[in-house]
Structure 1
Amino acid sequence: MLKLSYNSNGLRSVPVEDAVRAVADAGYRAIEFSLHPAHIDPFTFRPADADRLAGVLDRHGITACCLAAGADTLLGGERFEPSLIHPSPEGRERRLELIGRAVEIASWLGVPVVNFASGPRRDDTDDAAAGDRLREGLARLLERAGPVRLAIEPEPGFFVESNDQALALVDAAGHPGLTVAQDLGHCRVVEEDYLGSVARALRATSVIQLEDIKGRRHHHEIPGDGDIDFAAFFRICREQGYEGYYSVELYNHSDDFDGALKRSIAHLREQYDAAAG
């Protein structure tokens, strides 16, 4: 069964209650929330807010499948900084606290997965130092995550930018609470064999984000508007028995979210059915 979700970062032009309603009306089964002042502000969100939002989800029959903690400017004007691999301990601590806050909010809402990224590859940090800092941060996050699973998402241009890198971290940690959050579009940008990369990482994947990519340029396109072979992708997922959510991420299409919602679900359903043929 195709379990489709839509990331709320593509609905930032409307209140969170309206975002949930729009996702339900378009036929999706779930929503992936993103930390953002327009919807879930990590610095002001409280248990009472979680109760109200849980009521909205229940009324519309929508599951909150994931909470994305990687919004670019939550911690300042420099995008995605400070990160888990930032040179300063104080900077890394701020990022750890933000992700920890996301875990807390996820537990209030009953969201099973929190996803995040390593942070940008920096000229002032060598790979060995970045790797040490990242592993230390992951260990600390796992200590406090409880039942919420952590999912590291590869991002083009980041220290961890491929599924294989994320999978190596997961395997080295050997902890069931650490998983991979795949992003199919990112795979297409970074990987020569993007479908092979998907297949290798599925065993450790808790959520997959979807968008289309045109010409391997990192710009999130509505599914059907780029070059990704979604039928082949879904065939791999079917063959390996992936049962998690596929979450459409179109943060750059919030000006026409209704069209993005409807066109995405139509194309993905068509390609999922084609994969079964």
Structure 2
Amino acid sequence: MKFAFSTNAFTNYPLIQSIEEISKIGYEGVEIMCDVPHAYPPNLNEDKIKEINKTLKNNKMQISNLNAFTLFGLGDTYHPSWIENTKEARDLRINHTIDCINLAEKLGAKNISIEPGGPVEIPSNRDKYLELYANGIREVLPQAEKKQIKILIEPEPELLLESSVEFLHFMKNFDSEFLKLNFDIGHFYCVNEDPSMLVLKLEEYIEHFHMADIKNRKHYHLIPGHGSIDFKKVLATMDKIGYDGYVTVELYPYKTNPVEAASISMKYLNSI
């Protein structure tokens, strides 16, 4: 397997500098945030895309994933989501996702990660939300299949899809090689699941991993080794299934010291 670092910890840095810093630390890959201030599609012209590609090439870096989860360019971390009450708001999320698919093709990325529906305002409307989310995925999937870019759903605590059970149930609606899973180790740990066991359970859907440590099952991303997750056990199970893709360290709470956080994480990964 290969290790990458997400630029969402580097929002105080320009994207080009973020890629350079992550490369210096020793990561093989970079996950690029498809949002302000980095690679929000409406803000990128062809010259900027060429500059990003040139920087990746010069630093011998690959894109592990395009993070199309947050949408501060139009709202916030979660909004507009896939399950907003109005079609106009849902369309903003759908159009953003299509833009990210098109950007992935231009940057040579193989996949994008997306939110698992969004925050659920009225629990009793769960079936309605699931239908809205499925309908939204059906609108973007044809473009993903056309461009050969995989869409990775990322279950997260307190959103529509939190657990492996909910993810698997939702996936029964689809039969596409281009709709898969962004396996966030910390997120599953937060909802009282054992990530090492889930690697085996979800093997057929896994395309990419997010890594951050968690303490006391509280959803707050910590530097690997600073929380409670047994990463040796998780990585051993990943080895067992022959996973040879990217594991992206995602530490957006460390915006004031991303270089230090990325460096400490790399030292920890090397130590295990």
Q: CA deviation at 1:203?
A: 2.0
Aligned pair in 2 of structure 1 residues 125, 86: CA closer, same or farther (>3 Å)?
farther
Greater Cα shift, 213-222 or 40-49: 40-49
How many angstroms apart in 1 are the aligned matches of 2:199 and 2:188? 8
Aligned pair in 2 of structure 1 residues 38, 162: CA closer, same or farther (>3 Å)?
same
Give the letter aligned to residue 66 of structure 1. Answer: N
Query: What is the TM-score when the length of structure 1 is the normalising length?
Result: 0.93
Q: CA deviation at 1:242?
A: 1.3
> Is the aligned partner of 1:61 residue 2:64?
no
How many angstroms apart in 1 are the aligned matches of 2:193 and 2:148? 35
> Is the aligned partner of 1:88 residue 2:86?
yes
Query: What is the TM-score when the length of structure 2 is the normalising length?
Result: 0.94
Query: Which residue number in structure 2 is paired with residue 29 of structure 1?
Result: 28
Q: How does 1:40-51 map to 2 (within 5 A)?
A: 40-51=39-50
Q: Is the 8 A contact 2:35 2:72 kept in 1?
A: no
**Helix, strand or coil for the counterpart of 2:181?**
strand
> Is the aligned partner of 1:248 residue 2:246?
no
Give the letter aligned to residue 211 of structure 1. Answer: A
Q: Is the 8 A contact 2:212 2:250 kept in 1?
A: yes
Query: Which residue number in structure 1 is paired with residue 133 of structure 2?
Result: 134
Aligned pair in 2 of structure 1 residues 243, 170: CA closer, same or farther (>3 Å)?
farther
CA deviation map 1:150-194 (0-9, x unaligned): 000001100011233223333431100000001111011013333
Q: Is the 8 A contact 2:192 2:217 kept in 1?
A: no
Q: Is the 8 A contact 2:112 2:149 kept in 1?
A: yes
Q: CA deviation at 1:124?
A: 7.1
Structure 2: segments with no counterpart, 5+ residues: none
Query: Which residue number in structure 2 is paired with residue 275 of structure 1?
Result: none
**Helix, strand or coil for the counterpart of 1:225?**
coil
Q: RMSD across aligned C-alpha pairs, in angstroms?
A: 1.5
Q: CA deviation at 1:202?
A: 2.5
Q: Is the 8 A contact 2:36 2:72 kept in 1?
A: no
Q: Identity percentage over the alignment?
A: 25
How many angstroms apart in 1 are the aligned matches of 2:128 and 2:45? 36
Query: Which residue number in structure 2 is paired with residue 196 of structure 1?
Result: 197
How many angstroms apart in 1 are the aligned matches of 2:223 and 2:259? 12
Greater Cα shift, 185-194 or 149-158: 185-194
Greater Cα shift, 172-181 or 79-88: 79-88
Q: How does 1:102-121 map to 2 (within 5 A)?
A: 102-117=100-115, 118-121=117-120
Query: Which residue number in structure 1 is paired with residue 153 of structure 2?
Result: 152
Aligned pair in 2 of structure 1 residues 56, 125: CA closer, same or farther (>3 Å)?
farther
CA deviation map 1:216-240 (0-9, x unaligned): 1111000010000000000110111
How many angstroms apart in 1 are the aligned matches of 2:38 and 2:225? 28
Q: Is the 8 A contact 1:212 1:220 kept in 2?
A: yes
Q: Is the 8 A contact 1:107 1:148 kept in 2?
A: yes
Give the letter aligned to residue 70 of structure 2. Answer: A
Query: Which residue number in structure 2 is paired with residue 143 of structure 1?
Result: 142
Give the letter aligned to residue 118 of structure 2. Answer: G
Q: CA deviation at 1:39?
A: 1.3
> Is the aligned partner of 1:179 residue 2:177?
no
Query: Which residue number in structure 2 is paired with residue 263 of structure 1?
Result: 264
Q: CA deviation at 1:261?
A: 0.9
Greater Cα shift, 132-141 or 166-175: 166-175
How many angstroms apart in 2 are the aligned matches of 1:198 and 1:119? 24
**Helix, strand or coil for the counterpart of 2:21?**
helix
Greater Cα shift, 163-172 or 199-208: 163-172
How many angstroms apart in 1 are the aligned matches of 2:66 and 2:222? 22
Q: CA deviation at 1:52?
A: 1.0
Give the letter aligned to residue 167 of structure 1. Answer: L
> Is the aligned partner of 1:13 residue 2:9?
no
Aligned pair in 2 of structure 1 residues 72, 219: CA closer, same or farther (>3 Å)?
farther
Q: CA deviation at 1:140?
A: 1.2
Q: CA deviation at 1:73?
A: 2.7
Q: Is the 8 A contact 2:2 2:247 kept in 1?
A: yes
Greater Cα shift, 43-52 or 92-101: 43-52
